[in-house]
Amino acid sequence: MDLQKSPLAPASFPPMADISGVRFATVAAGIKYKGRTDLMLAEFVPGTTVAGVFTNSKTASAPVLKCREYLPGGQARALVVNSGNSNAFTGRRGEESVDHILKAVADAVGCAESEVFSASTGVIGEPLPHNLIVDAMPGLQGALGGTTWQQAAEAIMTTDTYPKGVSRTTKIGDTEVHINGFVKGSGMIAPDMATMLGYIFTDAAIGADVLQALLAPASDASFNCITVDSDTSTSDTVMMFATAQAGNAAPQGVNDPALNDFKRALDEVTLDLAHQVVRDGEGATKFVAITVTGAENDLAAKRIGLSIANSPLVKTAIAGEDANWGRIVMAVGKAGEAADRDKMGILIGGVQVTQDGMRVEGYDEAPVVKHMQGQEIEIEVEVGIANGRATVWTCDLTHGYISINGDYRS
């Protein structure tokens, strides 16, 4: 599939900090794609801790199930990710494929299988040719350290049109630490945990329990607030690895004041990556921020926001640059959350469209239409119940989405 780079893509892959204690290697294993890398191996120094959040799908893939099983151990020595085949809905055969892959990685790196985490992304229901991954492992292990962050991000892409990465430098106490992350995701995006596949790395010393307590809320406020098409993947995974090479004193719990700057930086990393996924939504031409206020609580506000963001009628109106605010009213009403029709107000691009349950007096659609013609769309909705507030992010729905997904398996 020859995909044009998203018009919402950043100008380039960002500069990435050096994270001591992690090395990458990639290869074109031929799992599905021809002439491009599709297999990535990351190796971590002994003592690296790990945290993760995974899909809530009831048809989760075999790699997700194995990651869940090994995560409580809190230690990681390797990560292996393939693209082109999700190894989902492949039954016992899929579980056996994971076992073969983990053994090959553990042998290559020299660690326990329980310290190896794997992920697969791509077509559902096709048996994974794990022999291609197993056979590639000796060469990958020998090539560790010769792969850039961008190359690692590129190897896990499927319908993505650009690699997605971000880097931050911050402090824990008085010690400088770094956070890098990359993510893949473009379609089948309505996370119920995290996003498609996302990996975050830090050289900080952070215990596994604290790392988990940091990652879960950061993911909830970012990856769990985006949607491209309302579909939650079988393979959604976000993992974070801490190599402890920066030399900081390990925080004494998630509420340790020494973590304040680190928390802010981690929130920036996850939100940046989540936004990049939306900006690469399949066929997307517009990035849409939807803020809901006045809801019964924050969760209700989020549900109303996602009802708007997932509405095909709203998304196609945005694609057509049609200021059809009636579709927003519809989406609020179907969300199943409390809303006062006669107090509801809508702003588009900062322009008041409705107030107190009706169109404002003297409403001029021209500035709203002009806003809709841009690439960055802002919608605000007040529902008049209480103080609940949330922001979610989505993209428009164009014919490009149909073209990509109608041709996905060819």
Annotated binding site for substrate: 158, 184, 195, 282, 405, 410
Q: What are the binding residues?
A: 158, 184, 195, 282, 405, 410
- The contacts of residue 207 (CB under 8 Å, 6+ apart) are 49, 74, 250, 251
> 3-state DSSP: the chain helix, strand, coil percent, rounded to 5?
35, 25, 40
Give how far the C-alpha of residue 129 lies from the chain's centroid of Cα atoms, to the nearest Å.
26
195 is an active site residue: yes
Q: Rounded distance, CA 390 to CA 297, Å?
A: 9
| Partner residues linked to 240 by β-bridges | 51, 200
| Residue 282 DSSP SS3 | coil
Tokens matching residue 302: 């989020």
Tell me 226's DSSP state: B
Tokens matching residue 242: 């801490």
Q: How far is CA 239 from CA 211, 234, 315, in A?
A: 10, 16, 30
Q: Rounded distance, CA 372 to CA 381, Å?
A: 16
Q: Rounded distance, CA 228 to CA 18, Å?
A: 32
Which one is catalytic: 26, 195, 270, 354?
195
- The contacts of residue 130 (CB under 8 Å, 6+ apart) are 97, 98, 100, 101
Tell me 76's DSSP state: -
Residue with tokens 């700057």: 261
Q: Rounded distance, CA 315 to CA 275, Å?
A: 17
Q: Rounded distance, CA 269 to CA 182, Å?
A: 9
Which amino acid, 129? P
Q: Rounded distance, CA 367 to CA 360, Å?
A: 14
Provide the annotated active-site residues.
195
